[in-house]
Amino acid sequence: MGASVKTTNRLLSRLLAVLLLSMFCSYALPFQGIAQSNSEICDNGIDDDGDGQVDLNDNDCVCEVIAPVSAIPNPSFEDMNCCPSNRSQLDCADVWIQASEPTTDYLHQCGWNGWENFPPPMPYPDGEAIMGFRDGRNFQGGAENNWKEYAGACLISPLRASETYRFEFFLGFVDNQKSPLIDITFFGTTDCENLPFGVGREDLGCPTNGSNWVRLGSRRVSSPGGSSWVKTTIDVVPREDIRAIAIGPSCQPTTAFESTYYFFDNLVLDDIRAFEFVISEVNHPCAEDFALAVPEEEGLAYQWYKEGVALVGETEAQLSQIYGEGQYQVRTMASNGSCSITQEYNYLIPSFNTSEPISICEGDIYNFGTQQITTSGQYVETFKNANNCDSTVVIDLDVLLQDGGEIDVKIFEGEEYGIGSQEFKTEGTHVAQLTSALGCDSLVDVNLEFYNIYMPNIFSPTSINGNDRFMILGNDDLVEVSSLIIYNRWGQQVYAETNLLGKESDGWNGRKDDEDIQPGVYLYRAQVLMDDGKERLFTGELMVLY
């Protein structure tokens, strides 16, 4: 009897243990299942697989990013085979082609950074390289209004007929005078063999003045003020497959009577759909009802993310509210299971900063917000603008004193320098009394010097004393001899060259068609560019002796 009871008790104990173990496992197993999940659920805002990465930040949630990929190779001119040391070196930029006979310029921060009188806006939009070009120039004492400079490239993949493409780029301006309003134009051709065009024709103008080129589109662009970059687009629908492009000014001769200059950077050309599926703003970012949205397309499921973490419940094309500053993205899922994700939209509560110079006369008061200012210096105030955004205004106040300082000026002998209503034409220091638009009187010291360049009136091609070439020589303030032309006494041209650097190795050696010219009197016509950015014309006689 005792043994039977013991056996029964052992069985009951085992049954109770099994029951307790079963109860424990029924609660413990689901827990273990969550902690040991093999993959991330990508739209619940939870670190499902326990690897410390949530949703899009996890490698389990990789999705194709919708972003334009340029059909133009080397779109920001960053890839190069040489560092430019001077103008007209577009061939240093990989795969780019000097499309026109008038030459574009390659600027790179490793070397040549552009003309002194045409400084590029800084910083560059993308990287360390840009391209510069002219639309007309002033040359040899007159305006060459059909001087057009273009860059070209063979496309990575052709533009297909009847498809819609977008050309997005940055256009740079020196200032409103040297870079006035321009019609930037996009040209195409069916064959890369058509690059370059107009060989030997500096006066050809735009590509369509030749053959096998079509105008794809254009956009009128102007500077918002001063040195600046403007991002703009041209949408095109080619009528035939396009395999090469050229970019630059329009076909119309420029009306400017001075050289005009512009810059290109980050030239992106792709199917328009790659540009359009982006997050856009709904209402002003400072407005209470500000929101974000993407284009709504039938058959797509949407999920919004901030910093890569799903915003649970935000599954419409438009975000229902803003969840503070940060980076937002939208993932779309198609019915076939494929997913795409937008590029990041970085939302910052806008604050506007403006800076402007202000001048007052000595003894006057300038009212700035709550401040009454009477001394020169920098002052800051924060206001609310029309859109309820914080607007921080910084002014540099200049109290105009009687002593207006001094300026250094260079001119050629025979020229005059004007300041206010006064003109000066002799070397030395002159005192100019100026009255500003504010009615303030001030005295300015004008330090006037003459440019000195040397144009010999006699030379011998056979000289052994170094006087065997005719050349315009000068100091560092002589930038270049833009052109030098020699005529005989009957007016026939015997020598012509452009863009000489004013070195003794440059210039005319007294020969024409590899033969010595006859001794006698010749006429020269020289266009020189000085460091004040102005080109001047000089003419005269020279004697050639043997």
Q: What is the pLDDT of residue 502?
A: 61
Region of residue 445 (left: phi > 0; alpha: psi -120 to 50; beta: else)? beta
> Largest Cα–Cα distance in the chain?
150
pLDDT at 31 over 70: no
Q: Which of 253-267, 271-285, 458-472, 508-522 has the lowest mean pLDDT?
A: 458-472
Q: Measure the CA dihedral 497/501/503/505, to 10°.
A: -40
pLDDT digits (tens, 9 = 90+) for 402-444: 776 789 999 999 999 998 788 999 999 998 887 776 777 778 8
| Edge-first strand listing for the sheet containing 403-411 | 403-411, 441-450, 428-435
DSSP per residue, 75-105:
TTS--BSS---SSS-GGGBTT-EE-SSSPPE
**CATH 2.60.40: which residues of the chain?**
36-66+299-349, 453-544
Mean pLDDT within 41-68:
91
Q: What is the pLDDT of residue 473?
A: 87
Kindly give the pairing relationship between strand 441-450 and strand 403-411: parallel
Retrieve residue 402's tokens.
């009687």
Q: What is the pLDDT of residue 140?
A: 67
- Give yes or no for a contact between 149 and 133, defined as CB atoms under 8 angstroms apart: yes
Q: What sign does the dihedral 315-318-323-325 (CA atoms) show?
A: positive
Domain 36-66+299-349 top-level CATH class: mainly beta
Superfamily assignment of 90-274 in CATH?
A: Galactose-binding domain-like (2.60.120.260)
- Which has the higher per-residue pLDDT, 445 or 150? 150
Q: What is the pLDDT of residue 483?
A: 92
- Beta strands (DSSP E) in 37-89 are 64-65
pLDDT at 2 over 70: no
| pLDDT grade for 241, boundaries at 50, 70 and 90 | very high
Q: What is the pLDDT of residue 21?
A: 36
pLDDT at 480 over 50: yes
Q: What is the pLDDT of residue 287?
A: 83
pLDDT at 3 over 50: no
Distance CA 229, CA 174 (A): 9
| pLDDT grade for 30, boundaries at 50, 70 and 90 | very low
User: Rounded to two decimals, what is the model's pTM?
Assistant: 0.51
pLDDT at 10 over 80: no
pLDDT at 54 over 90: yes
Kindly give the pairing relationship between strand 182-189 and strand 291-293: unpaired
Mean pLDDT within 222-231:
92
CB-based contacts of 518-524 (< 8 A; 24+ apart in sequence): 518/544, 519/544, 519/545, 519/546, 520/488, 520/489, 520/544, 521/489, 522/486, 522/487, 522/488, 522/489, 522/494, 523/486, 523/487, 523/488, 523/489, 524/455, 524/470, 524/484, 524/485, 524/486, 524/487
- Give yes or no for a contact between 170 and 219, defined as CB atoms under 8 angstroms apart: no
Q: What is the pLDDT of residue 433?
A: 81
Q: What is the pLDDT of residue 420?
A: 79
Residue 96's identity, in one-letter code, is W
Q: What is the pLDDT of residue 442?
A: 76
Q: What is the pLDDT of residue 4?
A: 40
Helix (H, G, I), strand (E, B) or coil at 537: strand
pLDDT digits (tens, 9 = 90+) for 105-152: 999 999 999 999 999 999 999 999 999 999 998 876 678 888 999 999
Mean pLDDT within 195-222:
94
- Counts for the chain of helices (H) and strands (E), in that order: 2, 38
- Which has the higher per-residue pLDDT, 77 or 380? 77
Distance CA 170, CA 232 (A): 6
Q: Which residue has the tokens 């069985």?
A: 11
Residue 99: other Cβ atoms inside 10 A? 29
- Which has the higher per-residue pLDDT, 256 or 294? 294
Helix (H, G, I), strand (E, B) or coil at 255: coil
Q: What is the pLDDT of residue 503?
A: 63
Mean pLDDT within 329-347:
91
Q: What percent of the chain has pLDDT over 90?
A: 60
Domain 453-544 top-level CATH class: mainly beta
pLDDT digits (tens, 9 = 90+) for 315-331: 999 999 999 999 999 99
pLDDT digits (tens, 9 = 90+) for 147-197: 999 999 999 999 999 999 999 999 999 999 999 999 999 999 999 999 999
Mean pLDDT within 194-201:
94
| Residues β-bridged to residue 185 | 218, 248
Q: What is the pLDDT of residue 401?
A: 72
Q: What is the pLDDT of residue 181?
A: 94
| pLDDT grade for 235, boundaries at 50, 70 and 90 | very high
Residue 236: other Cβ atoms inside 10 A? 20
Report residue 414: phi and psi, to 5°. Answer: 100, -20
Q: What is the pLDDT of residue 452?
A: 92
11 Cβ partners below 8 Å, 6+ apart? none
Q: With residue 19 as reference, give the H or E element that holds it.
A: helix 2-35
Retrieve residue 411's tokens.
């001119």
| pLDDT grade for 29, boundaries at 50, 70 and 90 | very low
State the average pLDDT for the chain: 87
**Nearest C-alpha neighbor of 432 from the set 422, 334, 183:** 422
Mean pLDDT within 341-348:
91
- Give yes or no for a contact between 524 and 484, defined as CB atoms under 8 angstroms apart: yes
Mean pLDDT within 70-95:
97
Mean pLDDT within 48-57:
94
Q: What percent of the chain has pLDDT over 70?
A: 90
Mean pLDDT within 256-278:
91
